[in-house]
Structure 1
Amino acid sequence: MVIRGVLFDRDGVLLESNDETYDHFVHWLASYGPTPSQVMREVRRVSERQLEKIRKLEITTPEAEKQYWLESAQSLLDNLDIGSKGPTPQEIAVLWPYYRFLKPVRGVARVLRELRAQGLVLGVLSNALPSLRESLAYHGLDLSFQHFFASSRMGVAKPDPRAFEMAVAQMGLTLGEVIYVGDNPHHVESARRLGMPAYSMQSQGIPDPRNSFHLLWQLEDLLSLVS
C-alpha cells in the first residue's frame, strides 16, 4: 500500500531534552538561596508529577494546564523556601515553559520539509498536555503539521490502539497508509498490531537483539521509507 502520511511521537523523535536549559534554570533558582542539588530534586518532582498527570489524563483543557503550571511553580518556590525575594509563580510559568527544556532533534526541520514536499499528510500523536501544538511552535516546527493529537485532549493515550485509530481517521487516511514513528517500543508494537508500518527511533544506546521492531537510527532514515 502507498504511504500517504506520517504520524510522529513528539519526545524522543521530534524534540529531545535540552540539558543547557536545565542548567540555566537550576542556577537561576539557586541564585535565590537553595543549592543546585536542592533545585534539581524539586524539578524532578515537578517532572514526575507532570508525567503522572499526563498518564491519568487529568489535565484536559488549556485553562486547566495554565492553572497546573502556576500551582507547580508555587509548590517549587515553597519547597525551596524562596519567598518574596524570588520570582513569582507567574514569572516562572511565562519565562520557563516546559517546552523550553526541549530542543529539536538534529535534522528534523529538513526531514519535515522534504516530507511535506512529497505531499504527505503529517501529524503528531503524543501522550502530552493540551499545549502540544504550542510546544512545537516554540521551536518553529508547528507549521510542518496538519494535525496535532494530544492524549489529554483525545481522552485516550498510547499504547491504547484507539489513540492510533482516532488519529489516522482524523487524518483522512487508513492505518496501512500511515507510518508511525515513536521511541517507545510498546507504542510501536501497538501500532504494528493494527497494521501500521511503525518504526522505533533508537538514536541512543544499543537495542535488545531480541527486539523485532523496525528501527530508525536517525530521523533522516525515514525519507528512504516514503520516497
Structure 2
Amino acid sequence: MTNGNSPPALVIFDCDGVLVDTEMAINEVMSANLARYGLQLTPAACLALFKGGRMTDAMTQSRKMGAALPDSWIDEIYEEMHARLEAGVAAVEGIHEVIGRLDQRGIDLCVASNGSEKKMSISLGHAGLWDRFQDVLFSAHTHGVAKPDPGLFQLAAERFGVAAGHCVVVEDSVPGVRAARAAAMPCYGYAEHDDGKDLSVAGAEVFRNMRILPGLLGI
C-alpha cells in the first residue's frame, strides 16, 4: 500500500485497540454505566456502537436509545474509565517488537486519538509506551478536531514535515479509517477480534496479527 512498497516516512497509530488493549475494559465500564441510566447494552454492543467515536456522540446516541443521562455524564464516564485504566491494561500483543523495528529503521512514529491526553497517559503508561509517545501525541481533546475529520492526521503530517502519501495510518475503527482516507493517507486496519469487514469496506487494508505490520510496511 505504501509508495512502490517502500517504507513510509511516518506511521500514525491510533491508541485504544492498536497500541493498548483497552477496548473491552472501556466498554465494560460503558455498559455498566449506561445500565444505571436505563439502557441495557452488553460490552460488545457498546464496542460496536461507539468504537472510535467521540464521547459527545455516544452521549447523544445513548439518549436517543433511552438512557436518561445527566448533562454531567461525560465527566462521569471519563472518571470511571480512568479508574478502570488505572487498574492496569496491557500493550497489544507484538506492538513493542513492531515499534522496535520501526525505530531501528529511523521511521517517525506518533499517536493520533479521539481520546484525551490524560486517558492516553494512563493506558500508555501501564503498557510501557508512554515514554516513547508522550512527546508525539495528537489528541482530539487538545486540538479540537476528531475523527472522522482528517485534521488530526494532517496535523501530525505537518508536524513531521511529511507528505500525506508518505504517511501510513494504523487504525481499528471505521471513523479512523475514514479520517485516513479523507487525509489521502494509506491505512491498515487492525482487526484482532473480528474479520475486519467494516474496516475493509471503509477503505483499509485489514490485518489481524500486529507482528506482520513491518512486512506490510515494506520493512
Match of 2:95 among 83, 108, 130: 108
What letter matches 1:155 in structure 2?
G
The alignment's TM-score, normalised by the length of structure 1, stands at 0.65
Matched residue, 1:120 = 107
8 Å contact from structure 1 (residues 202, 217) kept in 2: yes
Q: Which residue of 2 aligns with 1:80?
A: none
Q: Percent identity?
A: 25
Contact 2:149/2:182 (CA < 8 Å) preserved in 1? Answer: no
Q: Is 1:176 the counterpart of 2:165 in the alignment?
A: yes
Please list every run of 5 or more consecutive structure 2 residues that lacks an aligned counterpart in the other structure: 38-42, 58-74
Quote the offset at 1:69 in angstroms: 6.5
Which residue type is aligned with residue 91 of structure 2? Answer: P
Q: How many residues are aligned here? A: 181
Aligned to 1:136: 124
Partner of 1:216: 207
1:160 is matched with 149
Taking structure 2 as the reference length, what is the TM-score of the superposition? Answer: 0.67
Contact 1:18 1:102 in 2 (8 A): no
Tell me which residue corresponds to 1:14. Answer: 19
Q: Distance in 1 between matches of 2:78 and 2:211?
A: 40
Answering whether residue 32 of structure 2 is matched by residue 41 of structure 1, we say yes
Partner of 2:55: 55
Say which SS state the counterpart of residue 117 (structure 2) adopts: coil
Answer whether contact 1:54 1:129 (CA < 8 A) is retained.
no
The separation in 1 between residues aligned to 2:182 and 2:193, in whole angstroms, is 25
Radius of gyration: which is bigger?
1
Distance 1:159 1:115 in 2: 26
Deviation at 1:120, TM superposition (A): 0.8
1:59-109 CA deviation, whole Å, 9 max, x = no partner? xxxxxxxxx469946xxxxxxxxxxxxxxxxxx97xx45353532111111
User: Which range moves more in the overlay, 14-23 or 136-145?
Assistant: 14-23
**Structure 1 contact 18–101 (Cα < 8 Å) conserved:** no
CA deviations on 1:94-153 (whole Å, 9 max, x unpaired) are: xx4535353211111111111111101110011112312343123211233351111111
Residue pair 1:125, 1:150 contacting (<8 A) in 2 also = yes
Counterpart in the other structure of 1:195: 184
Question: What SS is found at the alignment partner of 2:197?
Answer: coil
